[in-house]
Copies of this chain bind each other. A is one copy, B any other.
Amino acid sequence: MNIGIIGLGLIGGSLALASKKYTLGSRCYGRDINPTHVKQALTLGIIDEELTDAKLPQMDIVILAVPVDIACELVLTLLDNLNDNALVMDVGSTKTGICERVSVHPKRNQFLATHPIAGTEFSGPSAAYPELFLEQTQILCETSFTRPDLLEWALQWFRSMSMRIKEMDPKAHDQHIAYVSHLSHVSSFMLGKTVMEKEKDERAIFDMAGSGFASTVRLAKSSPSMWTPIFKQNRENLLEVLTEYIENLSAFKNDLEQQHYDQLYQTMEATNAIRSILAGINENNTKNNN
């Protein structure tokens, strides 16, 4: 089983490591736009060989683990050059764009759109580890368009990594994920920006900031190269969500201005219901270094 990984970052690298750990006889080939990442991935044993163009037709599986705009560009060329029994999968945080892109390709049935809900704020091969996907959700889109034998292999592969499979329409995926992931990133980036603009003296932040601040701005460490294309591809959904978030913040600000403290109390109390939702998420993440 030859597995090609394009993009040797956190997700690509971890998929390679998970594959080596859980799938007998898998040999991993990798490439990355950054030559240092290829060297690191070889040194760390993430890949066995570099993935050259000449070796592409020998791959059984190819994973596209690159920013979503690049994935949309590469996927067609990849399908063109694969052998007739290979499967290509992307792992991006937006699904509508890539599903539209492949829709009329003659080898559409050799493609599977996936979104593993897993990650940390760290990037690059050194951030990869094989247990990243353990008990995490794997969202698959348009599975009926994938050739059944290739889909079945992919399902087995994800199950071997102990992922929980969920199917979803690409448009529904992009709408939901704007709420539970993309908005968190914008919220965190802007929180970091607001504090850094005001608190020029970093030492003061360091001394006074506790774990609550660290938790809310953690995602502001995320890679702009990865997130700019995601925001671009999910622009409409994110704009809707951002509008609602800003409205809620403005309503909170208005209540504070008007000194409507009972209203503030009730709003916070109602939001405490998030506890039960978070309990489920944390339960799933206890084994992960997130």
Residues of A bordering B, CB below 8 Å: 117-121, 136-137, 139, 164, 166, 173, 176-177, 179-181, 183-199, 202, 204-222, 224-225, 227-228, 231-232, 235, 238-239, 241-246, 248-250, 252-253, 256-257, 259, 261, 264-278, 280-282, 285, 288, 290
Contacts and interface: CB of A to CB of B under 8 A. Distances in A.
The SS class assigned to the A binding surface is helix
Contact of A209 (B180, B217, B228): B180
A269 B14 CA distance: 24
Given A246-B249, A267-B193, A212 B228 contact: no
Given A118-B210, A202-B277, A209-B180, A186 B252 contact: yes
Contacts of A249: 186-187, 190, 242, 245-246, 249
A92 to B, nearest CB: 14
B120 A211 contact: yes
A194 to B, nearest CB: 5
A194 B248 contact: yes
A158 B181 CA distance: 40
Given A244-B197, A256-B239, A271-B196, A219 B208 contact: no
Most B C-beta atoms less than 10 A away, residue of A192, A231, A257? A192
7 pairs of A and B residues whose beta carbons are closest in the complex: A211-B290, A224-B268, A180-B209, A184-B216, A192-B274, A190-B248, A192-B271
Nearest to A217: B274
A235 B259 contact: yes
